[in-house]
Amino acid sequence: MHAVNLIARAVGAKGPLLPCAPVEAICAVTGETCPCLPRRDVLGDSFTNLDRLRAPGSEHVSADVFIAWAYGYKTAEDKERLKCPERMACWICDGNVFRELVRSEIRELVLNGVPYEKWAAYVTTSYKKHGSLWARVNKGARGVWRFEMLDADCRDVTKVLVYWHKMNEARSAGIGRSTIETLHIAPFVLEKVGIRAWTMFERWARPIYQSGLYQFIAYLLPSKEELNGRV
C-alpha cells in the first residue's frame, strides 16, 4: 500500500478523468503491477524526484498516481490557477477521506492520536513537493508524519509529550519559535529569558534539535495569536 493508493480511493468519483484507458503494467512510482497510464501523461519534464521512484525503468505510472496528483484539476489549464491539495496543502488520508489540515488540527492529531486504522499524512510550509512520494502508510493511532523533507516519528507517545511540554514551556517563557528551531538566541531574548532558563533548555535540545520529531513539534507550537488568545 502506497500513500497515492489511499488518496485515489478517498477521492473516488471526485477525482480527475483519466486521459486514456489504463493498461496493466508496472507503476514507476509504486513498483506495483496495476492499471497504468503512459509515464509521459503523469511525469512531466519538470519532475525531479527520480530517486523516489520504486521502478524508475518503467514507462508507465499508475492511474492512482494520476488521480492523487491531479486531484483538484479538471483541465490542463486548471494547473495554472488551482492548487493540487496533495502537493499544496497539509493533509491526512485514510483511504476513505482526504482531509486538508491546519496547524491546530495537526497538533490535535499528533498529541491525541489519529482516529484511523490506516493512514498517511504530509505537512508542508513550502507547498512545492508531492507529499505522497514521501508520506508513509501508518497503522493505528500513532505513526510517522512527513514534515517537509523530514520524517517525524511520533510513534512513541511519551517522547512526543516530553518534547511538547519542554518546547511549550520554552515558548511560554518568551523564547520564539525560530529560536527554538535553530537554537540561535538573540542577546535581547537571552536577557529577557535569563541565562539559567536558556542554558537548561539549550542543554536538553542541542543533541536532538535537528531531528524530524523536534522540528515537527517546534512547528506545532502555539503562535503568538494563540498565546494571546486572539484565535
Mean pLDDT per block of 10 residues along the chain (231 residues) reads 95 86 97 96 87 95 94 55 78 96 96 97 92 96 96 98 96 92 95 94 98 98 75 50
Question: Residue 55: inside a domain, yes or no?
Answer: yes
Count up the domains in the chain and report the number.
3
Count the Cβ atoms, other than its own, within 10 Å of residue 144.
19
Burial class of residue 55, CB neighbours in 10 A (0-12, 13-18, 19+): middle
| Phi, psi of 187, deg, nearest 5 | -55, -40
* The pLDDT value given to residue 17: 87
The answer to whether residues 9 and 67 belong to one domain is yes
Q: What is the pLDDT of residue 14?
A: 81
Nearest to 220 by CA among 130, 121, 135: 121
Cα torsion through 188, 191, 194, 199, rounded to 10 = 60
Residue 125 covered by a domain: yes
**Would you say residue 80 lies in a domain?**
no
- Domain assignment of residue 79, yes or no: no
Q: Are residues 19 and 40 in the same domain?
A: yes
Domain final position from 24, 53, 74: 74
pLDDT of the residue at 80: 46
- Whether residues 162 and 142 share a domain: the answer is no
Measured distance CA(221)–CA(177) in Å, rounded: 7
- Dihedral sign from CA coordinates of 182, 151, 63, 53: positive
* Domain end marker among 127, 153, 179: 153
Instruction: Evaluate whether residue 99 is within a structural domain.
Output: yes
Q: What is the pLDDT of residues 40-72, one digit of tens each?
A: 989 988 888 999 999 999 999 999 999 999 887
User: Domain limits at 142?
Assistant: 85-153
Give the model's pLDDT for residue 75: 46
Do 58 and 39 contact (CB within 8 A), yes or no?
A: yes
Paired residues of 121 in beta bridges:
92
Answer yes or no: is 33 within a domain. Answer: yes
Under 8 Å CB-to-CB from 105, ≥6 apart: which residues? none
Judgement on whether residues 125 and 168 belong to the same structural domain of the protein: no
